Amino acid sequence: MYLFFACYAVNMIKSNVREMAERRGVANANQLKDALGVSPTLAARLWRGDFDKLGMNTLDKLCRVLRTTPGKLLTYEEAE
Which pLDDT tens digit goes with each residue over 59-73? 999 999 999 999 999
Weakest mean pLDDT among 4-18, 31-45, 56-70: 4-18
The residue ranges of every structural domain in the chain are 2-76
Q: Rounded CA gap, 80 and 41, in Å? A: 31
pTM, rounded to two decimals: 0.81
Class assignment of domain 2-76? mainly alpha
Task: Give the C-alpha separation, 18 to 80, whole Å.
Answer: 24
End-to-end Cα distance, the chain:
21
**AA identity, residue 25:** G
Q: Decide if 58 contacts 42 (C-beta within 8 A).
A: yes
Question: What is the C-alpha to C-alpha distance for residues 79 and 71, in angstroms, rounded to an integer?
Answer: 18
